[in-house]
Chain A
Amino acid sequence: ELKVEQNPLFLSMQEGKNYTIYCNYSTTSDRLYWYRQDPGKSLESLFVLLSNGAVKQEGRLMASLDTKARLSTLHITAAVHDLSATYFCAAPQGAQKLVFGQGTRLTINP
């Protein structure tokens, strides 16, 4: 059974700082997904990583995938308040199903 674990689960940081969220998964997969959820809202797709070594960047967020280590990272550069949200990673189990991590609640303080 695939398990997906994120850490940290809660992260409070100051604007302007850098930080990384980690996503470990327990079985082999060549794909990994990141989602963002704002309070009271739905989940929105952020990044789709489709191969080992894949790196995607959008603004101050950069995601990478190391399939050999079964690890994906979401790096935040020079954080701004607008990035405060909960971030989920998800790995596929079979052809259709995604297994989600617990989510990392990120709070960025001025």
Chain B
Amino acid sequence: DAGVIQSPRHEVTEMGQEVTLRCKPISGHNSLFWYRQTMMRGLELLIYFNNNVPIDDSGMPEDRFSAKMPNASFSTLKIQPSEPRDSAVYFCASSLTGTTGYTFGSGTRLTVV
């Protein structure tokens, strides 16, 4: 298995632009999680899906952030419009309920200038 695949690995964009981050979970996993990591705030859970349905989006910072999971093999996290304070590493993780925890993707390092 190729693991959790995220793209792009790095993204540099100008303030005000739309940014879309992508994630392919491990085949057979039924939960998907989006995290943001910064030096100041550590690891923050933004949203998670179970069986493609959003379960908890209380960590999404504001309306500029949205996430979708149209099918079991694909999810997106969109920021529109982006701001410099959104600069962070965004991780996607997947798991199979009741088993051995999460598998994380390699992350997307987002820089908004």
Using a CB–CB cutoff of 8 Å, the interface residues on chain A facing chain B are 33, 35, 41-45, 48, 88, 90, 95-100, 102-103
| Contact status B101-A45, CB under 8 Å | yes
A33 to B: closest C-beta gap in Å: 4
**Interface residue count on the B side (C-beta < 8 Å):** 22
What's the least CB distance linking A22 to chain B, in Å? 17
Q: Are B43 and A48 in contact (CB under 8 A)?
A: no
Report if B98 contacts A (CB, 8 A): yes
Docked-complex contact B100 and A48, CB < 8 angstroms: yes
B75 within 8 A of A: no
Contact stretch, chosen from B12-20, B48-56, B76-84: B48-56
Please report the C-alpha to C-alpha distance between residue A21 and residue B113 in the assembled complex, in whole angstroms: 37
Q: Is the CB of B42 within 8 A of A102?
A: yes
CA separation between A44 and B101, bound complex, in Å? 11
B42 CB contacts on chain A under 8 angstroms: 100, 102-103
Q: B50 contacts A98, CB within 8 Å?
A: no
A50: nearest chain-B partner, CB-CB: B100
Query: Which residues of chain B come closer than 8 Å to A102, judged between CB atoms?
Result: 42
Contacts of A42 in B (CB 8 A): 91, 104-107
Q: In the complex, what residues of B have CB within 8 A of residue A43's CB?
A: 91, 93, 102, 104
Q: Could you list 21 examples of A-B contacts with CB < 8 Å? A: A33-B102, A42-B107, A43-B104, A45-B100, A48-B100, A48-B101, A88-B43, A95-B98, A96-B31, A96-B48, A96-B95, A97-B45, A97-B48, A97-B55, A97-B56, A98-B101, A100-B42, A100-B43, A102-B42, A103-B42, A103-B43
